[in-house]
Amino acid sequence: MLETNIYRGQKITLSPESPVVTLDYGTETGGFAHIDVDSLNGPTQIEFKFSEAFYGLNNPYSDGPWTFANGLSSTFSTETFNITKPGITTAYFIQGGFRWQTITLLPGSQSLTFRTVGVQSTVPKESPELLPAQFSASNELYGDIWKLGARCVQAACIPAYSAPSTWKVTSEGAYIVGQQPAVSSKSTDFNDLYELSFSTKIVRGGSGWSIGTTGSEFANGNYFVLTSDYPPSTFENTNRSLVPPNTLAFSYGWNLVNQTTLDTGPVIHRKISVDIHEGQWHRISTKMNNGSFSISIDGKEAATISLREYHQLYNPAPASVSGGPFGFGPFQDQIAYVKDVKVVASNGTTLYSNPMTSPDILFEYSVHELTDNVCLDGAKRDRLVWIGDFAHTARTLGTTTNRLYFIQGTVEFAFARQAPDGFVPISGAMGSRPAPGPVGGGAALTDYQIFFLNAAYAYYQYSGDLAWAKKYWPQMKRVVQGLYGFIDPSSGLMAGDGSYFIGPANGTAVTSLFTWSLHHMSEIATVLDDSAAASNFTAVADSLSKAVQSQLWSDSLGTFALALNNKTDFGVTGIALSILSGIANEAQAITSIQKALPKLYNKIGYNDQSNTDPSTHISPNTNGFLLEAIMLTASTYSHNDGILAAQLAEPAALLLDGMWRNMVVQDQYYSGATWEYMNANGTPGLDRYTSLSHPWGSAPSYVLPQYVLGLQATEPGWKKWTLRPFVWSFGLDWVKGKSETPYGSIVASWRVDGTRLEVIVSSPEETEGTIALPVSVSSYVLNGKSITATKTSVVNHNIFHIVSRMMYFEYVYRSRVRRKVKVR
């Protein structure tokens, strides 16, 4: 059992007898960790370790390392310090996201006493109760679920200039502290054999480089680490088995160690015959020889790595090499200078030469200081601007923090890097150069381009910023035109050579998604008086809709089939997006939810497809689209039939009370934010690698205010809005919330007591609102005045149209209508 002591303003001493203190920040945090040392008995080494979930602290690298990309943050969830005097010591790296931290006194160190410890946050962080937008309900769980998204987007959205470069440019070259190698964007077209040479001076531990990697953004490939002879000052926690002194270590993969889905092969070692002293310059050369690498140090052959032999040890590694990008990044806690980099092709042509002393290298290696307001896929990883993940994030921002500048900044970040084919980077690095030519873009995950358009639409919908829409309209149209090339001329469905994340080519999901997006783009085109684009987008959307209806609807399945090549299976995204796009008619939407959807249910949520292995993780991302589709169907097609509305909304209740409840109630995994993936038993789906602060799981934070409270904008910028209380399900007695508009706040609530419904709403004078009642009424109170409904009274139509300041309504149900309450 964990022994817990609460310290309030007291000094804490770490000693050999009591070397560890564990800190619980309560919810997700991130930034630069620091410690204020009061006293020490000589040079002392301490280790910081960070983790989102408590159990991650039990591992050598905690819940890291994060080797998918260099994200202007710590690759390793640990950082070691040599403390020589009292005062404040601050971590070199940002730790992107964590709840838990340990401070460990390393063996051989004397006692150390510190006054304070904490984190200098690099993101604006407010308690959810203080945010501009609000949501709460009589079931406290639903308010807690809304708060998950509110915290999540705060952790994942990074203000400009708050994430400094992880490299330092000096007159001696690039000063690089241990991190995932950053890859030169100028080497992406090195497709033939070459020799990489550079000078390095090890400051601490070793120097690292990658060669023949898989892309300009990812250092997945051949990774080398050259270690020093380890002087007495070497950190006590250095893994001398993994990286022995005076050794060349090699591995193929993402780094030297595995991390769940990022496989790395075995590490092999070559002892170096000369002493590698710290503080001395050495010239390193790595030559590609098709089936091997030859490494020389200071002009003398030091080691040979046979790729053919390594392939026998680790089959995913290729048996030969032919070109590929290169990059630099020492291993954990190591520091090295790198300068005078040169690449020479096998025919003697110089491909690259760089002294590494100019600030220009920061953009080249995508480690420049962040200069935009952007949202990342997750706080701790991958810390890339994934434009598909952003579809949920953009919606959640508008119903929680109202920091719309993050939607604007993320969209502009991508547009600044738009390629000639119209596509934008699907996973741009924060420190990359803002120039055409996407990093990780092109046809890969083509549906992310569609999600990106929906995010741009979300900014316009929340802000009403017509000038912005006009400025970026040509670029939005270029994305659409690029997507047109993926419409199969034979089937009329979305296909093409690119891969899709949410479903197969020639399938329901992707085609529905593009149809939905085209409707959004047509709205913007109409407002901008671009009638030609509006007509074209509408016509193409209609054509896509007809193609799905005519080829993929299945009476036997009770929903749309997965794809033309698989008409026996169906999926969550097909159901959700066919409804959200309007492709599914009323009968099809209801049948999909009542007949097909239950077959996908798996303990806490819905499997992605009917052929999914039950042990596969469940996605809050795809289930988020489903959540909105369920609520859209229940509120639109129930026609004030309370029983039908409750039946249609039942799967939404299962999701909230199952999947999202598990993110709230399990303290051992709790981060205060929404998760990336889950197992069917409610645990994190990718073990400790799981991002426990991932906004793509935050759909309830916009679905609850917009569909359960029922407050939605019906014109961009909330110029017009509607309040449609959903009283039929979830067992709620009251719901209240607040939405921010460019003109001020709209505050709304509803309460049910027996057969009495009370609705209160206040809004800015510049807006117009419509209250759509879920029932007919026989009498009501309007701003304190009792009124009896007549046959000609507007209340008999269940609709109130107001140019509003403050409105108060109290409704009495007609006796033939009853609200269905489920007790859970």
Summarised one tens digit per residue, pLDDT across range 378-406 is: 999 999 999 999 999 999 999 999 999 99
Note the pLDDT of residue 787: 64
Name the residue with higher pLDDT: 772 or 532: 532
Phi/psi region, residue 422 (left: phi>0; alpha: psi -120 to 50; beta: rest), is: left
* CATH 2.60.120.260 domain extents, the chain: 12-122
List of E strands, 692-755: 711-713, 720-723, 734-741, 744-753
Cα 815 off chain centre by: 48
Task: Give me the mean pLDDT over the 261-283 stretch.
Answer: 96
Task: Give me the mean pLDDT over the 798-813 stretch.
Answer: 44
Longest Cα separation, the chain: 99
Task: Give me the mean pLDDT over the 505-510 stretch.
Answer: 98
Cα–Cα distance between 662 and 726 in angstroms, integer?
Answer: 24
Domain at 12-122, CATH class: mainly beta
Task: Give me the mean pLDDT over the 201-219 stretch.
Answer: 91
Note the pLDDT of residue 437: 63
Model confidence pLDDT, tens digit, residues 275-312: 999 999 999 999 999 899 999 999 999 999 999 999 99
Given a cut of 50, whether residue 1 has pLDDT beyond it is no
What is the chain's mean pLDDT, rounded?
92
Weakest mean pLDDT among 133-137, 240-244, 641-645:
641-645
Given a cut of 70, whether residue 819 has pLDDT beyond it is no
Q: Is 5 exposed, middle or buried (0-12, 13-18, 19+ CB in 10 A)?
A: exposed
Task: Calculate what percentage of the chain has a pLDDT beyond 90.
Answer: 84
Task: Give me the mean pLDDT over the 498-509 stretch.
Answer: 94
Given a cut of 60, whether residue 12 has pLDDT beyond it is yes
Note the pLDDT of residue 748: 93
Cα–Cα distance between 820 and 736 in angstroms, integer?
Answer: 20
Given a cut of 60, whether residue 522 has pLDDT beyond it is yes
* CATH 1.50.10.10 domain extents, the chain: 143-156+370-704
Name the residue with higher pLDDT: 9 or 438: 9
Note the pLDDT of residue 756: 79
Note the pLDDT of residue 499: 85
Task: Give me the mean pLDDT over the 448-475 stretch.
Answer: 99
Note the pLDDT of residue 805: 38
Model confidence pLDDT, tens digit, residues 403-420: 999 999 999 999 999 999
Note the pLDDT of residue 3: 43
Note the pLDDT of residue 698: 99
Model confidence pLDDT, tens digit, residues 646-701: 999 999 999 999 999 999 999 999 999 999 999 999 999 999 999 999 999 999 99
Cα–Cα distance between 134 and 632 in angstroms, integer?
Answer: 21
Note the pLDDT of residue 302: 97
Given a cut of 90, whether residue 510 has pLDDT beyond it is yes
Cα–Cα distance between 605 and 660 in angstroms, integer?
Answer: 9
* CATH 2.60.120.560 domain extents, the chain: 167-364
Model confidence pLDDT, tens digit, residues 745-782: 999 999 988 777 888 888 888 888 888 877 665 666 66
Given a cut of 60, whether residue 643 has pLDDT beyond it is yes
Task: Give me the mean pLDDT over the 339-357 stretch.
Answer: 99
Task: Give me the mean pLDDT over the 253-275 stretch.
Answer: 93
CATH superfamily of 167-364: Exo-inulinase; domain 1 (2.60.120.560)
Given a cut of 50, whether residue 609 has pLDDT beyond it is yes
Angle (CA) 357-224-689 rounded to 5° is 100
Task: Give me the mean pLDDT over the 539-548 stretch.
Answer: 99
Note the pLDDT of residue 785: 65
Give phi and psi for 520, each to the nearest 5.
-60, -45
Arch. (CATH architecture) of 143-156+370-704: Alpha/alpha barrel (1.50)
Given a cut of 80, whether residue 822 has pLDDT beyond it is no
Given a cut of 60, whether residue 227 has pLDDT beyond it is yes
DSSP-assigned beta bridge partners for residue 735: 137, 750
Report in angstroms the alpha-carbon separations of 114 from 3, 34, 42, 117, 581: 20, 11, 14, 8, 58
Given a cut of 90, whether residue 441 has pLDDT beyond it is no
Which residue type sits at 158? I
Given a cut of 90, whether residue 121 has pLDDT beyond it is yes
For the residues of 378-424, what is the DSSP string, one character each?
-SSS--SEETTTHHHHHHHHHTTT--HHHHHHHHHHHHTT--TTS--
CATH superfamily of 710-813: Maltose phosphorylase, domain 3 (2.60.420.10)
Note the pLDDT of residue 759: 86
Given a cut of 50, whether residue 792 has pLDDT beyond it is no
Name the residue with higher pLDDT: 321 or 776: 321
Note the pLDDT of residue 778: 60
Q: What is the pTM of this model?
A: 0.94
